[in-house]
Amino acid sequence: MIRVEGFGRLSLWLSATGGIAAGLAIVCLAEMPVRWLAAVLLGAGVVAAALMTGQPRRAALFLTAFSLQIGLVLYVTKPEPASDLGASWPNSLALPLGTLVALGALLCGMRRPFTWGGTAGICAGIVAFITGASLRGSPRPFLGVCHVVLVFAYYAIFLAAANCVREVRDLRLTHHALMISLALQSLVYFAQSLIGATFTPAGEWIEPTSQSLGRYGGWVGTQPAAFASFLLPLLLLAAARLLTTPDLRPLDSAVPLTVLGLSALCLTFTRAAWIGFGLAVIYLTGASARRAMLVRRNALLLAVCFMAVVGALGPKISIRLRQDHASALEERWSLIRMGWQVARAKPLAGVGAGAYPYVFENYLTPDLAKGWLYVVHNVYVLRAAETGLPGLAALVLLLCAFFRLASPERMPETGARVMALGWRAGLIALSWEMLWDVSLGPAANSLLWFLSGLMISAARFSPQRP
């Protein structure tokens, strides 16, 4: 018998491939700035520590929730030159840090059977398909590809939350990570307010502007609106726990977390976020009362916390309130009219995902052309202009699917019901904010998808025994 020798074992080939990949990575890292080299080494150390805990799935789950606050993005390709009239991010093949960590969590702890998200997953697929379909005839097709990739990047975060949380203690671990993020980002924002400059995890230092009110971005980004969008859902999760906890002892952390978050939110001086928080609290109070979950004395405690924060920051808040709101509203309305003008001209396919800032001037009437020209500050109108009315409908359906996932009636466990109430209030606040800005930002969008996926896992738990 003649024995045919193979080309070696699979493990040998895998080792060789890993060695080549490590060598290429070292060569690439050697050309990077020191701050990026330090970030990569720190990440490798964190991954090694997570694997050594003996519970890599839970460690990866905690890191996924914790990493959402770090506004680092991996740019796979060189960013395209931005238009002078703004940009609808991304302008490159970009992966938020949360996506990379979420992929690691999926490798460490996918549950069986695997879920793709049901109706929410279908809506996400429709959003990606319509975004891809808008590339046909787009003057910037590569930017459309970047937008499609970003949808799948967020979807990976959604899948990690939907499949890696297996039991009640996993949900509590995730909640702790999110509350730590709330406290940490509030403290970072306070530090930036004291220093008078924004510092980012990438080592960037952004000097203060000439504005009378200092406005910063935390670790989430460089803009106060992006920071406020990320902070709002976390603050409302803490507020939901505060409003619905009958015992005083568990409130030891809920009260300071709520005060910290409220203070940081006020210091952003973002009007849309302030109004969004008010709308969300109204919903949260009414929804918890209707379900007999509201503790009245705690509602009074929340009101006292709010008045104390507003009283302490009153002089600064009054400066913001005295500014010309009518002029700002008129500018926003003019931008919205420009966006609808483009959507009316291209109602089915739009001008192409990411292409709006480069082409919208071609669709303006003479009176609109005389106003402030910039990318429209409204996520819904921008979506309609870039991907057509089908794209707008797909986005609204996706948000409705996320809202339905967070139904407290679907949650058999008490903590999950409270978390669902808080996240529904957060969705209301974020949906309101999307009426007034170009985007929520990578961090807030990652958090939106993560918490929505978490609701799928929370609905699977067995009822908690007394």
The whole-number pLDDT of residue 133 equals 94
Instruction: Give 380-405 as a 3 state SS string.
Output: HHHHHHHHHHHHHHHHHHHHHHHHHH
Domain count within the chain = 1
Contacts of residue 143, defined as CB under 8 A and 6 or more positions apart, other chains included, come to 80, 90, 91, 352, 353, 354, 355
CB 352 within 8 A of CB 386: yes
Rounded to 5°, the CA angle 423-425-426 comes to: 60
Task: State CA 51 to chain mean position distance.
Answer: 26
Residue-wise pLDDT for 171-207, tens only, equals 999 999 999 999 999 999 999 999 988 888 877 888 7
How many Cα atoms occupy the beta-carbon half-sphere of 424 within 13 Å? 24
Residue-wise pLDDT for 63-112, tens only, equals 999 999 998 888 888 888 888 888 888 889 999 999 999 998 888 876 67
CB 73 within 8 A of CB 97: yes
Phi, psi of 86, rounded to the nearest 5 degrees: 100, -175
Higher pLDDT, 422 or 32: 422
Strands 94-96 and 198-199 turn out to be unpaired
Residue-wise pLDDT for 371-388, tens only, equals 889 999 999 999 999 999
Q: For 313-321, which contacts have Cβ atoms below 8 Å and span 24 or more sequence positions?
A: 313/263, 313/266, 313/267, 316/213, 316/266, 316/267, 316/269, 317/266, 317/269, 319/212, 319/213, 320/213, 320/269, 320/271
12 part of a folded domain = no
Rounded to 5°, the CA angle 84-89-90 comes to: 115
Give the structural domain span for 331. Answer: 52-458
Tell me the percentage of the chain whose pLDDT exceeds 90. 61
Which helix (H) or strand (E) segment holds residue 427: the answer is helix 414-433
158 part of a folded domain = yes
Please name which of 152, 80, 140, 135 lies closest in space to residue 391, comparing C-alpha atoms: 135
Residue-wise pLDDT for 399-426, tens only, equals 999 999 999 999 988 889 999 999 999 9
Residue 210: which pLDDT band, with cuts at 50, 70 and 90?
A: low
The whole-number pLDDT of residue 200 equals 84
169 part of a folded domain = yes
190 part of a folded domain = yes
pLDDT at 253 over 80: yes
444-457 b/e (C-beta count within 10 Å ≥ 16 → b): bbbbbbbbbbbbbb
Contacts of residue 56, defined as CB under 8 A and 6 or more positions apart, other chains included, come to 50, 108, 109
Mean confidence (pLDDT) of the chain: 87
Average pLDDT over residues 40-58: 71
Phi, psi of 257, rounded to the nearest 5 degrees: -65, -40
| C-alpha radius of gyration, the chain, whole number | 23
Q: Which residues pair with 75 in a beta bridge?
A: 94
The whole-number pLDDT of residue 149 equals 96
The whole-number pLDDT of residue 465 equals 42
pLDDT at 240 over 60: yes
CA distance 258 to 277: 12
Q: Which amino acid is at 357?
A: P
Average pLDDT over residues 252-264: 92
Residue 265: which pLDDT band, with cuts at 50, 70 and 90?
A: very high
Q: Which residues pair with 96 in a beta bridge?
A: 73
Q: Which amino acid is at 78?
A: K
